[in-house]
């Protein structure tokens, strides 16, 4: 359990712009900061951060919260673990009691898997430095690649012994459960295991025996996977093997080196994209940290979006061999389609960043990167133009290839610039190139439209009932109280401690003027007329407010923003941060815009009356329904009750200023 005063200390230290700035690039926009949302794919920024209020909100997907909520959501952590992550970042000591074996057993599988991976990284590093085999094979390999000690330590490199179950036996001996060794993919379940029975140490063997180890980190710096390279010359043995997909590792989203390079990417506003682990490590050794690799897989859209959060400028440094060329050809169209500014750099003699960096000095390496980077489409246009100079048929095919690349660029202005420049290089009329690009884009748009239409029309037994329901459902349910429930909560959260005066009756029904807070006034009015909330989210927030009142506390905005319940804190954020604010310049034109706080009491009264009126309508409707099944005598009583309620409704509508028409 983390003490409350420590929680407050962590939240006060964790400035939202600093925490989020580690994961996305934020740019100043008035009083707020703006960036690309990390929770959904977008090309135009709608993710707003308010340093003054200590909160964020995406106006695209609706995600919102404070720095703790962000770490919980982005790194998939529990509330206590998000606090621990932030405490570590800001060097805040957390004094917690020792957890019991029973509590340890209750830890989530995800947390247990992360603990296993953290142990594995320490084990492989220690094995490389503390065993004869580790030093003579693993450490020697990295030294042969000219890696310095500080770089080996920085990337937490290690070695897995050749003994087939060395890691598994040691891990189990240190109380790590066999089932989590299997779930993380660190150990493989053998054929000896009987399906349906509990996994034991005897059922497992090491995945990475006899390999040098490269830990793979997520955005938060946690080890979630490994890459293992064999040092054997046996051609039947895979050179690299990587962790399988697990609950903590999605290989299509993780980029090797992003955790260590994201600050450098932000500062340089540029990212180098390479193929392998050693390429990333070699560039760090050369003092270039704004570099990532796709963790041994083909580049994915999710990985591109991860880079796009920090910069839209990318330089592709794939190897000059045939495999590198193929990887480049697969990656670049995806990069262009996601709106990235793509440049290309080819190394001489089929070198890669790792091998080339060992042939030249650090300064020569940096100079080569600086002087040999070319815009991808210009490079492609020049190359294709030279290759097809004397062959008209081949030239036509080359132009088609170029048009395909230009057509997938989403930005109109950038696309038109490339059309102009490539037309000059290819010595072809700009209008022809533009026409061909437009033709492809129209064709693509039509195909996408037809696909969407077909998907909409194809009903399955699983969705037909839902589709029919959606078609016949009215635009707004007759008795939906969300608007009133929501507005009253907003007023309580923002202005609940505002003192107001109201009329109240004493024990002998004599009216007196009473001073009361707005929050207490709203709660009392709801309680007096026995009005209950129906929306589950709003009810959760209301219950929290009432609990605080029971303890004689008036909860303010800060209390709700810092709630460990993400539903409550997100609700508060949604109504505290405003996308549009009234400019003070209107005063210069004689336009006085009243402040919301000055109208809070009237707003609360009007909303309460509206809430009561709609609740009354719902009740009248329900007892009218009962007339269909009741006896004659009962119907007389029900009609009398309806008459009384209709009169009450008229009074409420008059108070609301509504004209009642029959």
Query: Any alpha helices (H) in 408-498, and if so which ranges?
Result: 412-426, 430-457, 464-472, 482-495
529 and 424 in one domain? Answer: no
409 and 313 in one domain? Answer: yes
Domain containing residue 587: 477-662
Q: What is the DSSP letter of 35?
A: E
430 and 293 in one domain? Answer: yes
pLDDT of residue 123: 97
pLDDT tens string 398-431: 778 888 888 888 888 888 888 888 888 877 888 8
Q: Is residue 202 part of a domain?
A: yes
Q: Is residue 31 part of a domain?
A: yes
pTM for this entry: 0.66
83 and 110 in one domain? Answer: no
Q: Is residue 465 part of a domain?
A: no
Q: Is residue 248 part of a domain?
A: no
Give pLDDT < 50 ranges for the chain: 452-453, 455-478, 658-662
Q: What is the DSSP letter of 256?
A: B
List strands edge to edge, sheet with 374-375.
291-293, 271-274, 313-316, 341-344, 374-375
262 and 230 in one domain? Answer: no
CB 418 within 8 A of CB 412: no
d(CA 189, CA 85) in angstroms, rounded, equals 32
317 and 230 in one domain? Answer: no
Q: What share of the chain is helix, strand, coil (3-state, %, to 5)?
A: 55, 10, 35
- Buried b / exposed e across 229-261, counting CB within 10 Å, b at 16+? bbeeeeeeeeeebbbeebebbebeebbbbbbbb
CB 159 within 8 A of CB 134: yes
Q: What is the DSSP letter of 359?
A: T
DSSP line for 142-205 = HHHTT--HHHHHHTT-EEE-SSTTHHHHHHHHTT--HHHHHHTTSEEE-TTSPTTSPP-GGGEE
77 and 119 in one domain? Answer: no
115 and 80 in one domain? Answer: no
306 and 190 in one domain? Answer: no
Cα–chain center distance at 568: 19
Q: Which two tokens stand for residue 653?
A: 């509508």
CA angle, 488 as apex, 486 and 494 as ends, to 5°? Answer: 100
pLDDT of residue 614: 82
147 and 183 in one domain? Answer: yes
pLDDT of residue 574: 75
d(CA 567, CA 395) in angstroms, rounded, equals 59
Among 441, 457, 485, where does a domain finish? 441
d(CA 47, CA 441) in angstroms, rounded, equals 29
CB-side exposure of 586: number of CA atoms within 13 Å? 8
Among 441, 460, 487, where does a domain finish? 441
129 and 73 in one domain? Answer: no
Number of domains within the chain: 4
CA angle, 591 as apex, 586 and 597 as ends, to 5°? Answer: 90
pLDDT of residue 193: 85
DSSP line for 289-345 = --EEE-TTS---HHHHHHHHTT-SEEEE---SSHHHHHHHHHHHHHHHHTT-EEEE-
234 and 146 in one domain? Answer: yes
Q: Is residue 446 part of a domain?
A: no
CB 508 within 8 A of CB 487: no
Residues 6+ apart with CB under 8 A from 364: none
Tokens 């009243």 correspond to 594
Q: Is residue 99 part of a domain?
A: no
Q: What is the DSSP letter of 567?
A: H
| Domain CATH code at residue 16 | 3.90.580.10
Q: Which two tokens stand for residue 604?
A: 């609360």
Among 441, 469, 495, where does a domain finish? 441
pLDDT tens string 5-15: 788 888 888 88
Exposed / middle / buried, residue 643 (Cβ in 10 Å: 0-12, 13-18, 19+): exposed
pLDDT of residue 659: 45
Q: Is residue 185 part of a domain?
A: yes
Q: Is residue 618 part of a domain?
A: yes
| Domain CATH code at residue 411 | 3.40.1360.10
Q: What are φ and ψ of residue 277, in 5° steps?
A: -60, -45
């Amino acid at each position: 359990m983390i003490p409350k005063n420590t929680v407050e200390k962590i939240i006060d230290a964790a400035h939202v712009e600093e925490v989020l700035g580690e994961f996305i690039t934020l740019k100043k926009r008035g009083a707020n900061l703006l960036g690309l949302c990390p929770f959904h794919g977008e090309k135009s920024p709608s993710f707003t951060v308010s340093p003054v209020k200590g909160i964020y909100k995406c106006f695209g997907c609706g995600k919102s919260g404070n720095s703790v909520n962000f770490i919980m959501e982005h790194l998939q952590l529990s509330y206590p673990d998000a606090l621990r992550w932030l405490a570590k970042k800001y060097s805040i000591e957390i004094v917690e009691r020792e957890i019991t074996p029973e509590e340890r057993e209750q830890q989530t599988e995800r947390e247990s898997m992360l603990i296993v991976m953290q142990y594995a990284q320490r084990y492989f590093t220690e094995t490389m430095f503390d065993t004869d085999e580790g030093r003579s094979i693993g450490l020697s390999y990295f030294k042969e690649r000219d890696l310095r000690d500080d770089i080996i330590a920085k990337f937490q490199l290690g070695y897995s012994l050749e003994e087939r179950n060395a890691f598994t036996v040691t891990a189990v001996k240190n109380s790590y459960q066999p089932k989590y060794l299997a779930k993380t993919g660190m150990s493989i379940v053998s054929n000896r295991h009987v399906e349906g029975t509990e996994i034991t140490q005897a059922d497992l063997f090491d995945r990475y025996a006899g390999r040098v180890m490269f830990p793979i980190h997520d955005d938060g710096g946690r080890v979630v996977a490994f890459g293992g390279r064999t040092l054997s010359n046996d051609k039947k043995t895979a050179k690299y093997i990587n962790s399988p997909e697990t609950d903590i590792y999605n290989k299509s989203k993780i980029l090797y080196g992003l955790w260590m390079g994201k600050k450098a990417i932000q500062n340089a506003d540029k990212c180098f994209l390479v193929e392998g682990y050693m390429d990333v490590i070699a560039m760090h050794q050369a003092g270039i940290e704004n570099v990532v690799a796709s963790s041994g897989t083909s580049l994915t859209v999710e990985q591109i979006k991860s880079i796009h959060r920090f910069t839209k400028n990318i330089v592709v440094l794939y190897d000059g061999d045939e495999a590198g060329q193929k990887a480049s050809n697969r990656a670049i169209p995806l990069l262009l389609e996601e709106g990235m500014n793509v440049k290309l750099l080819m190394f001489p003699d089929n070198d890669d960043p790792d091998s080339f960096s060992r042939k030249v000095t650090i300064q020569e390496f940096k100079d080569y990167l600086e002087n040999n980077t070319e815009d991808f489409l210009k490079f492609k246009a020049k190359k294709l133009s030279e290759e097809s100079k004397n062959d008209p048929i081949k030239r036509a095919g080359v132009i088609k290839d170029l048009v395909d690349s230009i057509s997938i660029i989403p930005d109109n202005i950038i696309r038109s610039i490339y059309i102009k420049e490539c037309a000059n290089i290819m010595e072809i009329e700009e209008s022809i190139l533009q026409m061909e690009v437009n033709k492809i884009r129209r064709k693509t748009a039509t195909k996408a439209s037809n696909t969407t239409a077909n998907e909409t029309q194809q009903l399955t037994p699983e969705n037909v009932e839902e589709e029919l329901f959606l078609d016949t459902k009215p635009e707004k349910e007759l008795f939906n109280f969300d608007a009133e429930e929501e507005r009253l909560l907003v007023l309580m959260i923002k202005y609940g401690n505002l003192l107001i005066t109201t009329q109240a009756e004493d024990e002998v029904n004599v009216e007196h003027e009473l001073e009361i807070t707005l929050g207490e006034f709203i709660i009392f009015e709801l309680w007096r007329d026995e009005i209950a909330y129906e929306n589950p989210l709003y009810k959760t927030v209301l219950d929290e407010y009432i609990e605080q009142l029971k303890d004689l506390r008036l909860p303010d905005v800060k209390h709700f923003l810092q709630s460990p319940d993400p539903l409550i804190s997100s609700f508060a954020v949604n109504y505290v941060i405003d996308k549009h604010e009234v400019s003070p310049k209107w005063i210069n034109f004689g336009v006085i815009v009243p402040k919301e706080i000055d109208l809070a009491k009237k707003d609360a009264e009007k909303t309460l009356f509206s809430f009561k009126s709609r609740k009354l309508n719902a009740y009248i409707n329900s007892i009218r329904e009962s007339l269909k099944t009741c006896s004659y005598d009962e119907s007389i009583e029900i009609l009398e009750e309806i008459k009384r309620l209709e009169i009450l409704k008229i009074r409420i509508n008059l108070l609301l200023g509504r004209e009642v028409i029959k």
